[in-house]
A and B are shown apart, each in its own frame.
Chain A
Amino acid sequence: MMTAKERLIVTLPSDNEIHMERTFDAPRALVFEALTRPEHVAKWWGCGGGVEQLAVCEIDLRVGGGYRYVIRKAGGQEYPFKGVYREIAAPTRLVYTQIYDVDPFKMHEALVTTTFDEHNGRTTLREMTWCGSKAVRDGMLQSGMEQGAAKSLDALAELLETLR
């Protein structure tokens, strides 16, 4: 099937937030499952470069229940993430905390709000990550999940365009 690849749109709406939007050619019940069932999440949440799958993927999908993901690189180095589910409204909305579980960053957590909108059998995923502080952001930076604080990425991209 010839389908144009969907684009990922990343914007930085405020100093503490990062927003991502991406559309998938699947009904939202399935997309919601792919983000909340461990047998599914383990298949795609890795970091690439030969570490596409998670070494550990545990999910207790209840409000107050936790999850734990571990990326393990070839050299054995681990990148553990964990959090707690705050709101579960299948298949439309999911709110959970996220901690990069490594000293000194594990003292801080980000709050991720994910929404699923279905239209004509396709689902648009929107994910807003709220970082409470610079420390949280720096933890994500170190883990490879780098987040920043520009008014908006679009404004920056536009500016960079003028510098070419």
Chain B
Amino acid sequence: MTPDTLDATFAALADSTRRAILARLATGDATVTELAEPFAMSLPAISKHLKVLERAGLIARAREAQFRPCRLEVGPLKDAGAWVERYRQMWEERFDRLDGYLRDLQQQDAARSRKPARTRKKRGLS
């Protein structure tokens, strides 16, 4: 997936109406009129949202049918989710290592405190 495609996917998802439309389409195909029903919006306004979703590859619309029902395309959504998940995983691993390292530092510190006879090395902790 290219950064440009990702841009389009995220831009399309950054709107609550469009997310609601996608959630509706997840339950089955629907026409523009059906999609407009839950929203206090004109058909042209809904059509605009659908165009954004279509350009982002998140939905597809039948070309020949009279009412051109919309269908959800899950590919880009899954890619976007996987992409954020990779970022999260990388930082989770990194912070887990930091977590373990902090535990080690504190254990070393505690061990030093238990041996007051020895010369204590200055930690420089503020």
List the interface of chain A (C-beta within 8 A of B): 5-6, 8, 10, 12, 15, 18, 20, 22, 24-26, 29-34, 40, 43-48, 52, 90-91, 125, 134, 137-138, 141, 144-151, 153, 155-157, 159-160, 162-163
Q: Are A151 and B13 in contact (CB under 8 A)?
A: yes
With a CB–CB cut-off of 8 A, which chain A residues contact B101? Answer: 34, 40, 43-44
Bound form: Cα–Cα A29–B123 in Å: 11
Does chain A have a CB within 8 A of B81?
yes
CB within 8 Å for A22 and B95 given contacts A10-B87, A149-B14:
yes
Q: Considering the complex, which residues of chain B in the window 100-126 have a beta carbon less than 8 Å from any beta carbon of chain A?
A: 101-103, 105-106, 124-126
| B3-11, B35-43, B47-55, B61-69 - interface stretch | B3-11
Q: Give the residues from 45 to 94 in chain B that come closer than 8 angstroms, CB to CB, to chain A.
A: 72, 74, 77-78, 80-81, 83-84, 86-88, 90-94
Q: How many residues of B contact A (CB 8 A)?
A: 42
B interface with A by C-beta (< 8 Å): 3, 6-7, 10-11, 13-16, 19, 22-23, 26, 72, 74, 77-78, 80-81, 83-84, 86-88, 90-99, 101-103, 105-106, 124-126
Closest chain A residue to B80, Cβ basis: A156
